[in-house]
Amino acid sequence: MVPTKVLMAAVAFTLAVGAAPAMGHHAFAAEFDADRPVKLTGKVTRMEWINPHAWIHMEVAKEDGSTEIWMVESGSPPSLFRRGFTKDSLMPGTEIVVDGFQAKDRSNKCAGRTVTYTNGERLFLGSSGTGAPRDSADPSEPPNR
């Protein structure tokens, strides 16, 4: 038999751990709008190689000549490295075009799908299977039918 105090301590521990807020991974549709595609052209100002998503910060020129800073959410650093990125791929000053989907709150934040360099090289940024639109950007994704 398990002593009552040990059993009560185990139950209390289980309840305390279960009551802690869970840090889950958000689905694409929770934060981004599949009906608001964006194409951003500009220069990288900073790259954050952090989990669970790497972030590209870029300066984008507006039609009136002013600029604005955008944050582009991408896949995790390991997934980007598997797709051909290196730590030197997105250094400050690198000119890129990002295709993605704007945040639902209309802020200057988007979920990136692809990045295209000035030489035409294109790399996949996003993740599939999280509610992101199936747009053939992910080379590992089966074609749309």
Q: Is 18 helix (H, G, I), strand (E, B) or coil?
A: helix
pLDDT of residue 30: 75
| Separation between Cα atoms, residue 57 and residue 1, nearest integer Å | 59
| Separation between Cα atoms, residue 93 and residue 91, nearest integer Å | 6
pLDDT of residue 11: 47
Burial of 139 (C-beta count, 10 Å sphere; 0-12/13-18/19+): exposed
The average pLDDT across 54-80 equals 94
CA angle 80, 46, 84 (to 5 degrees): 20
pLDDT of residue 26: 59
pLDDT band at 127 (very low <50, low <70, confident <90, very high): low
The string of pLDDT tens digits covering residues 74-111 is 999 998 999 889 889 999 999 999 999 999 999 999 99
pLDDT of residue 101: 93
The string of pLDDT tens digits covering residues 8-48 is 555 444 444 444 444 445 577 778 898 999 999 999 999 99
pLDDT of residue 5: 67
The average pLDDT across 110-114 equals 93
126 touches 75 (CB < 8 A): yes
